[in-house]
Amino acid sequence: MRTSLVILLVLLSALPIRAADDGNAVAYAFTAADTVRTNLWIAQALMADIAREIVDTIPGPGQGVSLRSSDSHEAAPLLEAQLHRHILDGGNVAYLDESDLVDEEPVTPVDADYEIRYSFETLDMEYPRVGRKLGLWKSWVDREMSMSVMARVIELKTGRLLMDERLQRSFGDRLSSGHVERVDDLVYGFTSAEVAEGGLMSVMEELVVVGALTGLVAIYFANTGN
């Protein structure tokens, strides 16, 4: 009987697990519990990479750089902080956009040599796919984040454009289902999302697996009864 039970467990473990859709080239990584990054951390990392590319167009050190956001996106202050940090790291001086603090049109600082204008086009976060162990229990969740920023860098004395581009970044990985609540951040709308539960096809998959399990159990008890 013990041998039959072992065989049954092996057969159960061999049942197909719902696989991820590999149509898009997204890098997946299973990580330990103490290394899973929050959605906010990922968003800031993507912004830091964009900020670095923007600031790298400015010759330095010793330049005065004015920052001006042309939208009211909730992520704009986070991108501004990244731009500010990279400007200082390059040995330049940063002038922050404080036009929202005064009731007048923004004025470019007289000591500024360059101006960075930026605005978010998209910033999306989603859990698009779910995997289920044995077709029943949620096992893993795919996580994807993407953003695009319009950036313009202007040399103020000459009006020369150093950059006028749409910069895009994206990230994707796969989480254990138990980690989703740990990485969600409700402070910002773009750092939280609903987990996709699947549609009719997902239900059909679960029914097929349940049927297979029922058949295996019936075979097991039939064999032990003999």
What residues pair up with 66 in beta bridges, in sequence order?
A: 95, 115
Query: What SS3 class is residue 152?
Result: strand
User: What mean pLDDT is predicted for residues 127-135?
Assistant: 81
The helix (run of H) or strand (run of E) holding residue 210 is helix 200-225
Task: Round to the nearest angstrom and report the end-to-end CA distance of the chain.
Answer: 11
Provide the percentage of residues in the chain whose pLDDT is more than 70. 67
CA distance 18 to 16: 6
- Give the predicted TM-score (pTM) of the model: 0.70
Per residue in 45-90, pLDDT tens?
999 999 999 999 999 899 999 999 987 899 999 999 999 999 999 9
The answer to whether the CB of 35 falls within 8 A of the CB of 179 is no
- Between 4-13, 79-88, 190-199, 205-214, the lowest mean confidence (pLDDT) is in 4-13
Summary mean pLDDT of the chain: 78
The per-residue pLDDT for 89 is 95
Examine residue 59 and say whether the peptide bond preceding it is cis (omega within 30 degrees of 0).
no
Closest CA to 67 of 49, 85, 41: 85
Per residue in 78-120, pLDDT tens?
999 999 999 999 999 999 876 554 455 555 677 899 999 999 9
What are the residue boundaries of the structural domains of the chain, listed by start? 25-208
Q: At what angle do helices 76-89 and 39-55 cross, to 10 degrees?
A: 50
